[in-house]
Structure 1
Amino acid sequence: MDSWGQAVEDWVQGWALSRGTPDPVPEPDGYRVDVGLPEHRVRYVLLDPRSVGPRAAGLTESGTWLKVCGSPEQVRDGLSPRWTIRAPEYLMSTELGARSPIAPPDPYTVDLRSTGDVHDVAVRAADGGCAAKGRVAVHGRAAVIDMVETDPAHRRRGLGKVVMAELTRVAAERGAVRAVLVATEEGRALYEHLGWTVESPITAAHLA
């Protein structure tokens, strides 16, 4: 498997571990993840935008999602008007080595909590509230960064970098040698600044 295909597989496996879903099921055009939520019942991760039309033609239930390795322009023609296309996203990766933590500015502190192979990092304000957070799931030699978020009241203080440094440090200590994530347009700039590389655009679409 090439590095791009491996990055997709790592992301799918780690995302399922992070979210506590059943293991992904390989499909001829990618993977299926049975998420089981009312508004996110099932997701299909498709490796080639040319498979969007054939796959979407057989999908009718609300709460069905597609995550396609391709741009919105490549995906749109294969979908009927029933599908809602989301904002662009990006599959990104980085190699992991020895990582050092970044100390948060005063008065913030870092809190790490682990459950098996899933590790949650929170940067807490002086009152104990969560100012920034993220999660990493370690699957074999790969780690998936997930649910990274900074509270709007605490932005522009470098807390996202603190969270990412702690997540990648923990992943490397647990044996991961590479990490992957899917970023929003806004998040992409932060991750590229931290040395991450875009592997593929990702287009999400769903049946509401």
Structure 2
Amino acid sequence: MTGERHVRDWVDGWAASRGAAPPLVEPWGYTIYVGLAEHVGRHVLGAANDGVREADVREVAGSVTGRGTHLKVFAERERVLPWLGEGWEPYGADDYLMTTALSGAPAPAVPAGYRLRSWTRGGVTRVLVTDRAGAFAARGQVAPTGASAAVDQIETAAEHRRRGLGSVVMRTLHAAAHEQGAVRGVLACTPAGRLLYESLGWEVVAPLTNATYAGSPAPRPERGAR
């Protein structure tokens, strides 16, 4: 399984998970229209690691003129950032694309004092964990797209961390995706998330560099003659 295949799996699953427009295939990767004020759309390079070409990144970055477009490149930041040009602002640091094989193993029991709810709409399964009072504790969702499924929006409230809730959410999503026919999972994560996912058998496919276009710098005013 190549990095490019995992990128395509993630693109398809992420778009389904977020209710975005179907990805458009480009010569260099994919365009997804999201439709939010600060996230109008995103360009995702289809290659990964050493397959990412400077010419492609420069072409895509140079074609953007409107604020709110995001760029996703599956290569190291130190390689990618010098290729972006003016107006691009990186965000996140040391993010990753990861994958794992999915099995039909049942989800673990929820720790005492918590309640788990799950539901599926439009093919996307969501999991919510609440505490005794009914307050938010953890969540996540998964979007199967055939043989693959993208895990997304994994979150645990600060006061409920280190209690196994992230593992419960992830394994519940694994089981739900496998039941819908998916045999492999993909996700994009932060360094903190990577620790949880590796403990559950996930492996890094490639680093992820993120940037958003904030607009060209304002021209400097001309000084009058002295």
Query: TM-score by structure 2 length?
Result: 0.89
Give the match for residue 164 of structure 1. 170
Percent identity (aligned): 44
Q: Find out whether 1:130 has 2:136 as its counterpart.
A: yes
Give the match for residue 126 of structure 2. 120
Distance 2:108 2:129 in 1: 11
Distance 2:79 2:13 in 1: 26
Displacement of 1:3 after TM fit? 2.8
Distance 1:8 1:29 in 2: 12
**After the TM superposition, which of the residue ranges 72-81 and 30-39 deviates more from structure 2?**
72-81
Distance 1:55 1:4 in 2: 20
3-state SS of 1:35 partner: strand
Displacement of 1:110 after TM fit? 1.0
Give the match for residue 114 of structure 2. 108
Q: Find out whether 1:5 has 2:28 as its counterpart.
A: no
Kindly provide the amino acid, as one letter, of the partner of residue 125 in structure 1: D
Confirm or deny: 8 A CA contact 1:25 1:32 kept in the other structure. Answer: yes
Distance 2:59 2:139 in 1: 38
Kindly provide the amino acid, as one letter, of the partner of residue 206 in structure 1: T
Distance 2:125 2:153 in 1: 11
Give the match for residue 89 of structure 2. 84
Count of paired positions: 207
Displacement of 1:141 after TM fit? 1.0
Give the match for residue 34 of structure 1. 33
3-state SS of 1:41 partner: strand
Distance 2:19 2:166 in 1: 24
Superposed CA deviations along residues 80-105 of structure 1, whole A, max 9, x for unmatched, are 24211112210000011122211121
Confirm or deny: 8 A CA contact 1:89 1:184 kept in the other structure. Answer: yes
C-alpha RMSD of the superposition: 1.1
Distance 2:80 2:59 in 1: 12
Distance 2:97 2:112 in 1: 33
Q: Find out whether 1:96 has 2:95 as its counterpart.
A: no
Displacement of 1:140 after TM fit? 0.7
Give the match for residue 62 of structure 1. 67
Confirm or deny: 8 A CA contact 1:71 1:203 kept in the other structure. Answer: yes
3-state SS of 1:135 partner: strand
Give the match for residue 195 of structure 2. 189
Distance 2:209 2:28 in 1: 15
Superposed CA deviations along residues 10-47 of structure 1, whole A, max 9, x for unmatched, are 10001000011110000011000011111000100012
Kindly provide the amino acid, as one letter, of the partner of residue 65 in structure 2: T
Displacement of 1:49 after TM fit? 4.7
Confirm or deny: 8 A CA contact 1:49 1:68 kept in the other structure. Answer: no
Structure 2 runs not aligned, ≥5 long: 215-226
Distance 2:22 2:90 in 1: 25
